[in-house]
Structure formats: structure tokens, C-alpha cells
Amino acid sequence: METALVTGASGGIGLEIARVLAQNRFNLVLVARRQTELNQIKDELIAKYGITVKVIAKDLSLISSCEEIYKELQEENIKIDVLVNNAGFGDYGFFDESDWNKDYRMIELNIASLTFLTKLFINEMTKRKHGRILNVSSTAAFQPGPLMAVYYASKAYVQSFSEAIANELKGKGVTVTALCPGATVSGFQKAASLESSRLVKGRKLPTAKEVARFGFEAMMKGKTVAIHGTLNKLLAFSVRFFPRDLVSAATRFIQEKTKEKN
């Protein structure tokens, strides 16, 4: 049986990807900050699917956590066949008013740790000429994002990085897939204070389970870019045909919070 490592596995898309992998007979290494939630998920997946599950409670906004995870798995001789870089978060508001410490943690988690974990595990995959990497990007990757400037920029990095190394790895037995969900039912909106924005409010959003299944299937097919939802695909590709200022203005309009009616 192959083994998959999933970051941000305690909830949302990460948890649902872990469940899909378990259903498809992958052993798992689950990484998130909260030990209690991880242990509950471990018990659930072992009971349902009879797989092996290892949990590692680490804060990946601390870059040192990446090497600590890698060394722990090396010591236990656990080889990773599938790496799912899902951990990440966003924040809402004007950049000039934002908390720098939160911005910095976002960059460390969304960009630096994703890149370092990929670096740590990719060499073993290429030596074995076998491996899959699923980086959770976003439809946010395709345009600037006023009111969420750092988050959108971080996902643009994930997208560009994923597509570039996917090209580099052709013929080496390793695939890289960038999963690009749009707004999804998960804890992300609440954490990013997005619940009353036009992006989310009043919309019927896809579930994290639907996005996870879509991402898993795209990864197994070796697709490089996997945009969930027909409308999201149209929007992602259409922005390249419009002036950049107009794209930024439209994105800001969608991101802005709606006013409550009396």
C-alpha cells in the first residue's frame, strides 16, 4: 500500500482529501496543529478502512516544522508516495491596516512551508521514479485580490510553482497537480472573515467533499491544473483577456462585504 502525507488535515478540504485517500486504500500521515482532532480522525479512518494512520501535530507556519516532520518519517522508515500540500489560510482587509505578524505567518505557511515540504520529499520520489504531489491552489491564483492581497498573491505563487515543477518532472515518474477550488463550504470563510462578502453570502457553494473528490481524481490522472467548477474555469481563463485594472476592480467588488438591509 502507498502512503500519503496530507497537511491541514484536521478540517475542510484537507480532511476530505484524507478521507478520499483512505477510501482508496492509502495509508496516511496527517499533519495539522490540533492533536485532539487528528487523533479523532485517525480513529475514524482506521475503524472504517483498516489502514495505517500516523498523526503529527505541527504548526507549519514555523518553517522548522517541515524538517522535523521529514526527519521523524525518515527515522520510522515511512516513505511518502503522495504529498498533499493543503495547509493554508487567508485574511480579509486592507493591506495597510493588516497585522504584519499574521501576513508573515500566511506567507510562511502558504508559500515557504509548501515549497520546503515539496523540496524535502521530491528527491525521494524522483529516485524511485514514482510519486504524486497535490498542491491546493485556488481560483484566487489567476488575478490580484484587493482586500485579500497577500492571500491571492500566495496562491499565484503556488500556481506558478506547481506548473513549473510539473514541467520539470516530466519523464521522471512524478506528477504535480495544482487543485484550484473557488469558494467552498469549509471553515476557511469564517477564519478569513469572508462570510458577509459577495464572494460567499447568498451563494450555494460546493462542499469540501466534492472538491476533494475532484482533486483526487485529477491527481490520479496526472493533470497539472484542476479547476473545480465550470464557472470557475471560465472566470479563471477569461481574466487574461481584460485590462488588469478592470480585473482588480471586479475582484474587489466581489470581495467587498454587502451592507445589511434594515
Confirm whether 151 is a catalytic residue.
yes
pLDDT digits (tens, 9 = 90+) for 34-81: 999 999 999 999 999 999 999 999 999 999 999 999 999 999 999 999
Q: For 240, which DSSP code?
A: G
Q: What is the pTM of this model?
A: 0.87
Q: What are the chain's domains?
A: 3-255 (3.40.50.720)
Residue 123: predicted pLDDT: 93
* pLDDT on residue 192: 45
Please spell the DSSP secondary structure of 26-64, one letter per residue.
-EEEEEES-HHHHHHHHHHHHHHH---EEEEE--TTSTH
* pLDDT tens-digit series, residues 74-103: 999 999 999 999 999 999 999 999 999 999
In the prediction, which pLDDT does 150 show? Answer: 97
Regions of the chain where pLDDT drops below 50: 189, 191-193, 197, 201, 260-262
**CA 152 to CA 94: how far, in whole Å?**
13
Active-site option among 49, 70, 92, 151 = 151
Q: Say how far apart CA 87 and CA 96 lie, in whole Å.
A: 25
